[in-house]
Structure 1
Amino acid sequence: MNRLSREKLLGVELSSICSRNRYSMDAAPVIAELRGRAGNRIDILAEAAGLWVGYFADEYTRTLADALLEIDGVGPWIEIGRKRRGMPPHKTP
């Protein structure tokens, strides 16, 4: 049975924290939770935050998205998130 690596599981968890708090009007506790869970894996935090911002940022998630932009290294991941957002949904042939 294949399992996800610890790194992938951490990325999923960080993305889940973002999604669970997407409409928060106070991003400080969310950022603290993300940093706490990421520990020294700032690279994984930057990837998860950038992908999330690129995919989900809109007028309703602006507070969290703006705070996530302050995380070092998110820049390159934002465009990947935007590209994924623009892809057509998966469907069966």
Structure 2
Amino acid sequence: MTRDHLDDDTRLDIALSAAIGRHRYDATPDAAIQELQALADGRNDILARVAGTWAGFYEDDPHVRTTVDPLREIPGATQWIELGRSRAGKTRPTPWPASH
């Protein structure tokens, strides 16, 4: 039998990250945001960290734009976007290509 040594904050971080991953290709963000808020259960600090980091990491992926934009709107998330960018190996946002 293995012992789980994760603290509650780490468990919540994992659950929130998994929920975002499950919903990342959804056409609308409503279900994702509702699930994230329910999972966070008032732990808006952890929700903001996970949402902002995820948004920064995936901000240049057009396939998940409908998920990234609402994650940025979560209060406190913007302060974590740079961490997500750095984890993705970039230091600032790449501009969208011009339409032709």
What interval of TM-score do these two structures reach, taking the shorter chain for normalisation?
0.7 to 0.9
| Gaps in structure 2 of 5+ consecutive residues | 91-100
Partner of 1:86: 89
Is 1:66 the equivalent of 2:64? Answer: no
TM-score by length of 1: 0.87
Partner of 1:28: 30
Whole-angstrom CA distance in 2 between matches of 1:79 and 1:46: 13
Q: How far is the alpha carbon of 1:69 from its aligned partner? A: 1.1
Which residue identity does 1:17 align to in structure 2?
A: A
Q: How far is the alpha carbon of 1:55 from its aligned partner? A: 1.0
What RMSD over aligned residues (CA atoms) do the two structures have, in Å?
1.4
Q: How far is the alpha carbon of 1:70 from its aligned partner? A: 1.0
TM-score by length of 2: 0.82
The size of the alignment, in residue pairs, is 87
Give the fraction of aligned pairs with identical amino acids, expressed as a percent. Answer: 40
Q: How far is the alpha carbon of 1:2 from its aligned partner? A: 6.5
Structure 1 or 2, whichever has the larger Rg, is 2
Q: How far is the alpha carbon of 1:5 from its aligned partner? A: 0.9
Which residue identity does 1:86 align to in structure 2?
A: G
Q: Tell me: CA distance 1:24–1:6, structure 2 relative to 1, closer, same or farther (3 Å).
A: same
Which ranges of 4 or more aligned residues in structure 1 deviate by more than 3 Å? none
| Gaps in structure 1 of 5+ consecutive residues | 88-93
